[in-house]
């Protein structure tokens, strides 16, 4: 007589119970659960039906002990207050789930200490790989000497598999667009130059404007809606026709400041950003920005990580995704 779900509490159902219910060996049930071995679709369906009927719940810890695999990865992000990163995290989780992996997330809140501790804890918990968006150019993984596969996302770093958008091209496209709109006096609030993606955006933009426009001032600011005193002082000079921000959060912070001081955007000063986060469409005026494919970033990062997990000795690979200008209402023609 087969074991029914009512005969035994769900937490007590064993692998042997599933094997007995589905009429196969324990090894076959294990193959189906771990998606290994050569098992026909008919048998897989029998086993999965038995699992559902009995309410079997695999003991993940025991599986990890047997197989050496936890089917988990980690993702380390610098600041979940920035809408860019929750969307990125969601894309990573979705791609990981499609590969049969669960995700542990660490929000470092731009704290070097939290970043270092997060890396240590994820390795300690036994994740099979980590998607890492560094908060600076400091390599916190170096001391672990390849203990876990790592893919760096949104931040071009050497010695790692990486996936990021073409920031240099994005900066160049924005420069050409503003020149075409007749802007000749420019203020630049760049992101932290210790972050390579911010440095590349700045590089591309300055290359794009060349000597065709005047850079009146430049200030470095965190990737945040909160503007540093130097940025506030520069913006209130009102001596530029357009403000170029290192990302959308900085741009939205600039628009907010202008609203507070009754400076009209874009009639008096235009503003542009970079990233095309959801907020860029709802801020008033809607923000002209550079779109990067956040969903593709997450998907490609997980693809690279699965590749690295399956083959730790594979050659290093970088995936660079295209960007596109999104023209909205925050830029006036001069």
Tell whether the model's pLDDT for residue 9 goes beyond 90. Answer: no
Q: Does residue 121 or residue 66 have the better pLDDT?
A: 121
Tell whether the model's pLDDT for residue 32 goes beyond 90. Answer: no
pLDDT at position 4 is 46
Give residue 16's pLDDT band: very low, low, confident or very high (50, 70, 90): confident
Average pLDDT over residues 76-93: 95
Give the separation between CA 239 and CA 233, rounded to whole angstroms: 11
Asked if 183 and 334 touch (Cβ cutoff 8 Å), the reply is yes
Give the separation between CA 38 and CA 42, rounded to whole angstroms: 12
The least confident of 35-49, 234-248, 288-302, 316-330 is 35-49
Average pLDDT over residues 31-47: 81
pLDDT at position 2 is 47
Give the separation between CA 105 and CA 226, rounded to whole angstroms: 25
Average pLDDT over residues 213-228: 97
Is the alpha carbon torsion for 271, 273, 279, 281 positive or negative?
positive
Alpha-carbon Rg for the chain in angstroms: 25
* pLDDT tens digit sequence for 221-248: 999 999 999 999 999 999 999 999 999 9
Average pLDDT over residues 141-157: 89
HSE of 202 in the Cβ direction (CA atoms, 13 Å)?
A: 19
How would you classify residue 162: left for phi > 0, otherwise alpha for psi between -120 and 50, otherwise beta? beta
Q: What is the pTM of this model?
A: 0.81
Q: Is the peptide bond before 285 cis (omega within 30 degrees of 0)?
A: yes
Nearest to 223 by CA among 333, 88, 122: 88
**DSSP state, 275?**
B
Q: How many CB atoms lie within 10 A of CB 282?
A: 9
Tell whether the model's pLDDT for residue 57 goes beyond 80. Answer: no
What is the H or E stretch that residue 188 is in? strand 185-190
In DSSP terms, 288 is beta-bridged to 272
Give residue 62's pLDDT band: very low, low, confident or very high (50, 70, 90): low
Q: How far is CA 313 from CA 8, 161, 166, 316, in A?
A: 46, 12, 27, 9
Tell whether the model's pLDDT for residue 217 goes beyond 70. Answer: yes
């Amino acid at each position: 007589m087969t074991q029914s779900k009512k005969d035994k509490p769900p937490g007590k159902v064993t692998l042997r119970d599933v094997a007995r219910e589905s009429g196969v060996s324990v090894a076959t049930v294990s193959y189906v659960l771990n998606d290994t071995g050569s098992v026909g679709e008919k048998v897989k369906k029998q086993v999965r039906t038995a699992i559902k009927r009995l309410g079997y719940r695999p003991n993940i810890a025991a599986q990890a002990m047997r197989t050496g695999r936890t089917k988990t990865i980690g993702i380390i992000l610098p600041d979940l207050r920035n809408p860019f990163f929750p969307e990125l995290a969601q894309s990573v989780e979705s791609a990981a789930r499609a590969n049969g992996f669960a995700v542990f997330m660490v929000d470092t809140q731009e704290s070097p200490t939290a970043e270092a501790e997060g890396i240590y804890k994820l390795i300690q918990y036994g994740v099979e790989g980590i998607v890492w968006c560094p908060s600076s150019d400091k390599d916190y993984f170096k001391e672990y000497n390849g203990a876990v596969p790592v893919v760096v996302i949104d931040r071009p770093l050497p010695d790692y598999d990486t996936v990021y958008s073409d920031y240099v091209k994005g900066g160049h496209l924005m420069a050409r667009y503003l020149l075409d709109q007749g802007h000749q006096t420019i203020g630049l609030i760049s992101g932290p130059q210790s972050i390579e993606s911010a440095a590349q955006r700045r590089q591309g933009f300055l290359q794009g404007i060349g000597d065709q426009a005047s850079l009146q001032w430049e200030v470095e600011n965190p990737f945040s809606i909160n503007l540093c005193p130097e940025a506030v002082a520069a913006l209130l000079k009102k001596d530029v026709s357009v403000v170029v921000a290192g990302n959308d959060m900085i741009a939205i912070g600039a628009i907010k400041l202008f609203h507070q001081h009754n400076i009209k955007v874009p009639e008096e000063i235009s503003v542009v950003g970079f990233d095309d986060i959801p907020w860029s469409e709802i801020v008033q005026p809607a923000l002209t920005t550079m779109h990067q494919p956040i969903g593709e970033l997450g998907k490609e990062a997980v693809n690279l990580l699965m590749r690295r997990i399956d083959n730790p000795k594979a050659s290093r690979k970088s995936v660079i995704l295209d960007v596109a200008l999104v023209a909205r209402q925050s830029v006036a023609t001069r």
